[in-house]
Amino acid sequence: MITPEYYDNHIVSRWSERWLADDIVWIIGITKNVPYKDDFIFGLIGRTMHILNEHYKSNPKIRFGLIDYTEDELLKMTLIGDLAPSIALIKNGTVIKL
């Protein structure tokens, strides 16, 4: 899970808008932290991020993560507004909602 502190210190600072991830592309699932089997759409986003992370683990230029929007509402609003659950791609400080 990506916490607001991790996001602000390793991806992009929401306060200074400074991109911190160099040339790494981040794909982040914004969902609820639920067991995979309990809820289809929320579990699907979580499973997708875990599968992609495993598949691309040897590629240092792409990272995957999850944000629990029930815990980190401000971070969710920063990335995607009020469109949760969703997936966001972040590259060079630009957010693309998928």
Cβ neighbors of 43 (< 8 A, separation 6 or more) are: 34, 35, 36, 37
Helix (H, G, I), strand (E, B) or coil at 79: helix
Find how far residue 81's CA is from the centre of its chain: 13
Are the CB atoms for 84 and 45 separated by under 8 Å? no
pTM as predicted: 0.84
Number of residues that this document lists for the chain: 98
Domains in the chain, CATH or no CATH each: 4-97 (3.40.30.10)
Q: What is the pLDDT of residues 15-54, one digit of tens each?
A: 888 899 999 999 999 888 776 666 666 678 888 898 999 9
**Can you give the pLDDT at residue 88?**
92
